[in-house]
Amino acid sequence: MELTKKERAMLDGEMGKAAAKAMEILVAVGKIYSAGRMVPVGSVQIAGVSYKTIGDAGIEFLQGFADTGAKCIVPAYLNPAGMDLLEWEGMGVPKAFAQKQLEIVGLYEKMGVKATCTCAPYQIGIVPKLGEHLAWSESSAVCYANSVLGARTNRESGMSALAAALCGVTPEFGLHLEENRKAGVVFELECRLKDRYDYAVLGAHVGKIAGERNPAFVPRAEDKKPTNDMLKLLGAAMAATGAVALFNFKDATPEFNVREGAEKIVVEQKMLDETVAKMNTGEEPELIAIGCPHCSIDEVCEIAEKVKGKKLGAKKLWVCTSRGVKAVADAKGYTQVIEEAGGKVVCDTCMVVCPIEQMGFGITGTDSGKAAQYLPGFCKQKVVFRRLEDMI
C-alpha cells in the first residue's frame, strides 16, 4: 500500500505504540482487500461494546490499547452497550454483567471515544455529509450512512473501527470507491408499503435474496415517499438477513445508480407474508421491545400516542433509544405517557445486546426485521414479529 509520510511514521512507531499497532491493523486489512492507499475519515462508530458480544477477550484487547496511551484523533462514537448505563439495576441486569460493562465503556472513554451508546448517531446530531468517508461498524448505521446520507463507509469490525479512530484513516476499498456503489439487483415493489413495519418486513425478505449485492428499489407510482425512519428499518433488516451495506430507493435516496445488466425481481405481498410467517416463532410476548435501530423522536412520539391511556399489565414494553433522544422525549412528555402505560424508555442498549435471556425473558415481540432475525440465535428467544399496534 502507498502510505503518506504521516501514516508511515505511525506505522514505524514514531507516534507511539498504540498508533503503530492500529496502523498495522489497517495496513493488514488494506492488503487483504487490495486497497491502494488510506483515506481520511470524518468520524468513526464503534460496535463491539456489549460485554455480551465481546466478553473477557474483548476487555483484554481494549485494555492492551488503553494501557499504551491510545487516543482517538477523529470523533469516535460508541454503539449500544449491554444495559442502560444509569438504570441497569431497574432493568434487572445481573450485577456481575454490569461491572464488566462499565469497565468496557470506561476503557473506550479513556481512549477518547464518546459514550453515545447508540446505533443511530445520525439522530443525535452526528450527521455525515454526502460523499464523506467514514469508518462505521454497526451494520444498520453503516447501511443508513451509505444509503440515506450518501456517505461512504465499509462495514468495519469493532477492531478496525477503533484502529481508524486512532489513526484518522481507513483503507480505501469497497464502498469508498465509486465503482462499487452501483446496484446489482433491482426490486420492483408490488407489495404494501404503508408503515415502518412494512419496510422492516420488506428488508427481512430482500436481505436474503440480495446477499452481498447492493439492491435498488422501485416502488409503485402511487406509493408515498418513505420517511427516513422507514428507510432505517429497511436497511437494518437487509443488513441482518443479508450483508447489505448500501441500497438505493427511487426518489428517496441521494444515489440511484444501477449496474448495466442488473437482475430485476418483482416483490409481491404474498412473498412477504411467507417471510413473516417463517420469522414468527412465538405467540404471546413477555417483552415487547421497539427501537431496533434506536427510535427517533418521531417514533417515540408515535409509540406514546399508541399506548396513551392504556395499561400494559404484566407485559414489559421497552422503547430503546439514545440518551439524547430520551432527553427530548422527557421534555415533550412522551416518556411520562409511556411510563404511565407501564412501559419504559430504555437508553444505551437494546433487546439484542442486553442479556435478556439471563433476565427471565423467553418470548420477545418486535416490529424490527433486524431484531426478529437476531433474537432467536443471539438471545435464545421465540419471536413475535408484528406491528406494534397488533401487539398492544
Q: Rounded distance, CA 118 to CA 378, Å?
A: 19
Using rule CB under 6 A, residue 345 touches ligand F3S: no
Using rule CB under 6 A, residue 196 touches ligand F3S: no
Residue 289, strand partner residues: 318
Using rule CB under 6 A, residue 155 touches ligand F3S: no
- Which stretches of 159-229 are assigned E, i.e. beta strand? 169-171, 183-190, 215-218
Using rule CB under 6 A, residue 292 touches ligand F3S: yes
Which helix (H) or strand (E) element contains residue 55?
helix 51-67
Choice from 46, 124, 297, 350 touching ligand F3S (CB under 6 A): 350
Residue 19 vs 352, nearer CB to ligand F3S: 352
Using rule CB under 6 A, residue 354 touches ligand F3S: no
Report yes or no: 115 and 108 within 8 Å, Cβ to Cβ. Answer: yes
Q: Rounded distance, CA 169 to CA 43, Å?
A: 10
Using rule CB under 6 A, residue 352 touches ligand F3S: yes
Residue 189 vs 320, nearer CB to ligand F3S: 320
Using rule CB under 6 A, residue 140 touches ligand F3S: yes
Residue 27 vs 238, nearer CB to ligand F3S: 238
- What backbone phi and psi angles, to 5 degrees, belong to 75? -60, 130
Which parts of 304-333 interact with ligand F3S (CB under 6 A)?
320
Residue 319 vs 391, nearer CB to ligand F3S: 319
Choice from 10, 46, 62, 119 touching ligand F3S (CB under 6 A): 119
Distances, alpha carbon 216 to alpha carbons 27, 52, 133, 368, 371, in Å: 32, 34, 22, 21, 23
Residue 70 vs 345, nearer CB to ligand F3S: 345
The DSSP call for residue 14 is T
Choice from 126, 202, 353, 388 touching ligand F3S (CB under 6 A): 353
Size of interface with ligand F3S, in residues (CB under 6 A) = 16
Using rule CB under 6 A, residue 146 touches ligand F3S: no
- Edge-first strand listing for the sheet containing 316-321: 344-347, 316-321, 287-290, 363-366, 382-385
Report yes or no: 59 and 29 within 8 Å, Cβ to Cβ. Answer: no
Which cell is 352 given? 439484542
Using rule CB under 6 A, residue 366 touches ligand F3S: no
Number of alpha carbons in the 13 Å side-chain half-sphere of residue 182 = 10
The site for ligand F3S (CB under 6 A) is made up of: 79-80, 119, 138, 140, 236, 292-294, 320, 350, 352-353, 370-371, 374
